[in-house]
Amino acid sequence: MAPPSAIHTSEIVDTGASIPSNGHENLGTATQEPGLTKSQAEKAEVAMPKFPGPKKFADKYEEREYQKGRLALAFRIFAKMGFDEGVAGHITLRDPVEPTSFWVNPFGVAWPLLKASDLIRVNEEGKVVDGGPCRLLNAAAYMIHHAVHTARPEINCVAHSHSLYGRAFCSLGRNLDTITQDSCAFHNDIALYSSFKGIVLAEQEGKDIAAALGNKKAALLQNHGLLTCGKTIESAVFWFMSLEKCCHAQLLADAAAGGRGGETVKINDEDAEYTYQTVGTELAGWFSAKPTFDMMEHEAGVDYKW
């Protein structure tokens, strides 16, 4: 597989934001999907200008209000993509002010209409301590997300929904194959939780899911659906959208290959790892989600805030 095309800048991005480097020297490298290492950037041919990074706040209360708005947009994005069904699914945001608590959607409130003011904050005991007029808490949301947020203190957002292709793929009892450039974003960074014990209402089940996830950014929950996480709302949301499409692509590819009596062509580990450094980093996830969030903010106007 030929290396992915890349475009870089000789300047380091100075956004004032804290951007994870993933051990790379050339922070702020701009590519089609940002995240190149220094050696990869040296192979690029066209210089590009600086690009933005995640917003940084000195005031944690100001950050809370901004992030709640982003979370409301995330639910509307999920709804537009058909990831809402009935009352299933949840996205959580670690509270910047009180990090042992998180914000989540109130149970039964329609995602296309969800506003920042509707969100509820849940403490580590599973009690709703702040939020909108409807304060119904989905117990499964607490059990799963509390366990992941506790096990992964560097993670600020966790997304889970019963998306169509995700749950179809999760019925196969197997992990994702690296067969496309996009699936390289999950190369050695996705777990398979091969257990299903019904709706997650027990604390141990949430802990088992968190343990299976480990230090990875995504998990396939067998007979259940997809789960993704990130340091930002944007990256967690993008990983979910991308993983859903990767599941769809593999279902189609496996069916087509099987119909011809063959198998899909897999990307070798070296090329997959090389591509991962471009498309699979935290910064790549944040930047890849930016257009989707910009579009949803444009469509929603100010309606998503209050």
pLDDT in tens, 178-215: 999 999 999 999 999 998 776 666 688 889 999 999 99
In a domain, 51, yes or no: no
Question: What pLDDT is recorded for position 127?
Answer: 97
CATH number of the domain residue 103 falls in: 3.40.225.10
Measuring CA to CA, which residue among 206, 205, 229, 49 is closest to residue 152? 229
The residue segments making up the domain with residue 190 are 60-300
* Dist. CA 150–CA 125, nearest whole Å: 12
Question: What pLDDT is recorded for position 232?
Answer: 98
* Dist. CA 122–CA 131, nearest whole Å: 9
In a domain, 147, yes or no: yes
In a domain, 37, yes or no: no
In a domain, 178, yes or no: yes
**H or E segment at 190?**
strand 190-193
In a domain, 112, yes or no: yes
In a domain, 2, yes or no: no
| Res. 3 pLDDT band, cuts 50 70 90 | very low
| 100, 112, 234, 262 from 256: Cα distances, Å | 47, 35, 33, 9
| 53, 58, 64, 115, 166 from 61: Cα distances, Å | 20, 9, 5, 18, 35
Number of domains comprising the chain: 1
Q: What is the pLDDT of residues 22-45, one digit of tens each?
A: 333 333 444 454 555 555 555 555
User: With DSSP H G I counted as helix, E B as strand and the rest as coil, what are the percentages for the chain, rounded to 5?
Assistant: 40, 10, 45
DSSP annotation of 158 reads: E
In a domain, 137, yes or no: yes
In a domain, 22, yes or no: no
pLDDT of 19 higher than 50:
no
